[in-house]
Amino acid sequence: MPDAERGCFDNDEVFGDNIFKYQTKSERKELIAAILGAHTLGSANILNSGYHGSWSSKGSKGVFDNDYYRTMLTRGWAPDLAIDGNVERNQWKTVDIGGADHPLMMLNSDLCLAYDNNFEH
């Protein structure tokens, strides 16, 4: 799996260079974005990955929909550093109004999808 801390660089290296090596750079980006869309179904747990939180809104958790992408683009994000005291685990948290009862998170490997230049080496 890609290193979430390295963002789209590692997404492209792991998925693009191995699974989608015969596709164009643009096609790779689309396919990688589609794979990461599976995050809409789940959440991260410190014991499993070192990260904590959900990628989808409370009503969409566990539902295969486009909430992952909507949340990525419509919410305000700020760094959430050293998760559970681990300086090697950093993520993003929502900082806009609402959602205190269901904290949302994104990783560098998620939010980099919103920026075209993150696929360049």
pTM of the predicted model, to two decimals? 0.86
Alpha-helix runs per DSSP H in 5-54 = 8-11, 25-36, 46-49
Domain 4-119 superfamily per CATH: Peroxidase, domain 2 (1.10.420.10)
Average pLDDT for 14-31: 90
User: Considering only 9-18, 38-47, 48-57, 92-101, which range has the smallest mean pLDDT?
Assistant: 92-101
Per-residue pLDDT of 41-82, as tens digits, reads 989 999 999 999 999 988 887 889 999 999 999 999 999 999
Helix then strand then coil, % of the chain, to nearest 5: 50, 10, 35
